[in-house]
Structure 1
């Protein structure tokens, strides 16, 4: 995006933020949540719902592979469309190859659109990294699991299935997932977010009333944390209005933590705000455990350790997971707040890509997610502060160079937004 384009974008965003569209997500009670702990569980649940679909199926994913998992999901979609179900699929232009099965979809009647077909396309460098689906407006899915075999990674066999999660949702929150898909579907055809998708939220409001609404939302969220009924929020980020929605959800949860923060993420390169939030939590006595994935992108394997020093000194416990590919983007705070989604904690996910997370508050499934994170922490290699500080000078220099190069590249791609 050019400097002039960035300024016009900022003015448009500011004008919209002065209206009711400022609210980035809402909590809804009365939802059934099922935690899915692997691709095998996710695909089985999704295919079962697709095979029972009567009217409508929508699916958006970053990766759709022509492997055993992809072929099984594709077959279910074809069965659905053959009995009159409307089926729409969005895949990413870089994450997913141009597969032969897409021609079969078109001939069968499946509608398929590709988000940003080129590396630098009409939506800049951004990708749709979301993994969402809705069946008959009754069942929704959100998580980090692509349509790819659990044991395959770039043609290599993994020793164990990916460590990854999704959730199946049934209840009011499904409407928010469906709306996000519909907006993306129209956006691919028309360009940036179509005006009609904003119309319901364009009623003017005064700054005083806006402040009151924000205070009410903040107080309501704090009440939910205090031990109220289970509720769920679907949190999507885009590059127009909800640019920092997922990051702010993390910051709010970590900032309110009283006893424990558990966080697992494959690409841990957040900006200063999120790193400071974790350090401040540890310094005030909160037990902070961070699990980081490795051995997928060599550059990050060298860059991420540069961040360890400040985190370790603040009391954050860090472990690197090498048992298999850690792909889950999950967190639990104080056993009553949890998130499952597609957003990595790096510049691309937090500031460029279209992402989607589900935030759970006081939901029974949080306990199972917490146990899974703690088990993974035990299976990981703990970073010892003394041994970390004793690294050879060459390794320390390599970490600094890799981090500096990454930071410079991300500041360029985000037009200076990454800090």
Structure 2
């Protein structure tokens, strides 16, 4: 990085907290990305890769269901193990029930470990909420899609497929995904943090990749049309796999969001089902809107009643800062995605709430200058247009009873999360 590039990077990021921790993840180039916008094509691709596996399959998921989506994946895992492939599966002790198919896995030679089998276990209240898979060290998967039927929501039939995303990755970043699964596998076995391997040779630091991102945007300007193609002509696309845990990467995903939002010049698009971030992330969104960035939030509803009442408490400050908010009710919004300036995007498992940002094991992929960002951007904008827009005047005229309910729900949630995170949630 040139001296001028370093100074520009420092000016852009000096207000962001915790910069000394950014080396916990790396950006690398030379990867290919395939974006999935629903579970059905994702499971079809995953089972195809598992059926072609020759050496190893590793899968980690919060939910694995014995349903029309889960059974084909389970069958593919069993077929792979039966022909001598080393198959490992990690499920969460709360997210996934004790299924009869576990016995079939054992009989086929599949190794299966359960993360934190009880609500409070040796890892405290933490869950593994990640949705990851690696096949033969060549293909990796990351996103928000659990192994569950797209149309099922706790036994009820959704009117449309669940709104969710995942990516298939090929290239150097696959090694980082596999390392995260390996670390989790050993963590479950020994109950504490295993030694971490050094990053693979050929990756770049987050600082260097961010500087390339900033220089590219500076050269191309901030016009809404043609941004992505211009960026790809100026700088090389790169990817970072960002995993959150309670050992060395406690704030990694939150800081990835803060970095991108803090540098936004024209647009921040964010969709998340459980929007209860702490003050730092809310402040970053409000500051972006106040400096003229078009900030749009798509928020999911109708899964947890307490959040349906608590989340609107946050709307007042956001709306006054110029943030545009819409509530998505067409189907279950489960995707955890964002796009900044059409050049930066993220897909993963992390909600923007206390559990995901402070307690659970999560994993996101950050894309910089990849063409799939355009497709992700279009999907978020379409969801925003299909959602119920929150009007500031209508919001301020809510009945007193509803305002009180919002206040009580938010402060109850905040108190509970401060207790669970030992004061970490703000």
Q: Is the structural similarity TM-score above 0.5?
A: yes
Query: Match for residue 147 of structure 1?
Result: 147
Residue 192 of structure 1, CA deviation: 1.4
Correspondence for 2:290:
283
Name the residue aligned to 1:410. Answer: 417
- CA distance in 1 between counterparts of 2:383 and 2:196 reads 41
What secondary structure does 1:164 align onto? coil
Distance in 2 between the 1:415 and 1:316 partners?
30
Preserved CA contact (<8 Å) 1:58 1:135: yes
SS in 2 for 1:87: strand
Moved >6 Å (runs of 4+):
none
- The alpha-carbon deviation at position 219 of structure 1 amounts to 3.6
**1:97 and 1:337 mapped to 2: Cα distance?**
36
Aligned match of 2:98: 98
Q: TM-score, normalised by structure 1?
A: 0.90
Q: Indicate which of 307, 327, 337 corresponds to 1:330.
A: 337
1:224-263 matches, within 5 Å, as: 227=231, 228-263=235-270
Tell me the CA shift for residue 217 of structure 1. Answer: 6.6
Change (3 A) 1:187 1:401: same
What secondary structure is seen at the aligned counterpart in 2 of 1:229? Answer: coil
> 8 Å contact 1:152–1:158 — kept in the other structure?
yes
Structure 1: runs of 5 or more not aligned: 1-17, 202-212
Deviation by residue 1:368-389 (Cα, 9 ceiling, x = unmatched) = 0000000000110000000000
Q: How do residues 81-160 of structure 1 correspond to structure 2 at under 5 angstroms?
A: 81-160=81-160
Structure 2 gap ranges (5+): 1-17, 200-204, 219-230
Deviation of 1:193 (Å): 1.1
Q: Do the aligned residues in 2 keep the contact of 1:330 with 1:338 (CA within 8 Å)?
A: yes
Map of 1:266 onto structure 2: 273
Match of 1:42 in 2: 42
Superposed CA RMSD in Å reads 1.6
Take 1:221 and 1:376, find their aligned partners in 2: how far apart are those partners?
A: 27
Q: Report the more deviating stretch, 74-83 or 221-230.
A: 221-230
Counterpart of 2:7 in structure 1 is none
1:141-183 Cα distance to aligned partner (Å, 9 max, x none) = 0000000000001100000000000000000000000000000
- In the alignment, is residue 382 of structure 1 matched against residue 381 of structure 2? no
8 A contact 1:224–1:361 mirrored in 2: no
Contact map agreement 1:225 1:361 (CA 8 A) in 2? no
User: Is 1:356 matched up with 2:363?
Assistant: yes
Are 1:294 and 2:301 matched, yes or no?
Answer: yes
Q: Do the aligned partners of 1:225 and 1:337 also contact (CA within 8 Å) in 2?
A: no
Aligned equivalents of 2:382, 2:213: Cα separation in 1: 29
1:400 to 2:407 alignment: yes
**Shift in Å, 1:41:** 1.2
- TM-score (norm. length: structure 2): 0.89
Q: In the TM superposition, what whole-angstrom CA distance separates every residue of 1:81-120 from its partner, at most 9, and x where no partner exists?
A: 1111110000000000000000110011000000000000
Shift of 1:224: 6.5
Partner of 1:6: none
Cα separation, 2, equivalents of 1:292 and 1:342 = 15
Task: Evaluate the alpha carbon distance shift between residue 223 and residue 68 of structure 1 in structure 2; reply closer, same or farther with a 3 A threshold.
Answer: same
Q: Paired residue for 2:189?
A: 189
Tell me, yes or no, if structure 1 residue 55 matches structure 2 residue 55. yes
The alpha carbon displacement at 1:332 in A equals 0.3
How far is 1:318 from its partner? Answer: 0.2
Aligned counterparts of 2:246 and 2:168: Cα–Cα separation in 1: 26
Counterpart position of 2:223: none
Quick one: distance in 2 between partners of 1:217 and 1:235? 14
Give 1:24 deviation, angstroms: 1.5
Other-structure match for 2:13: none
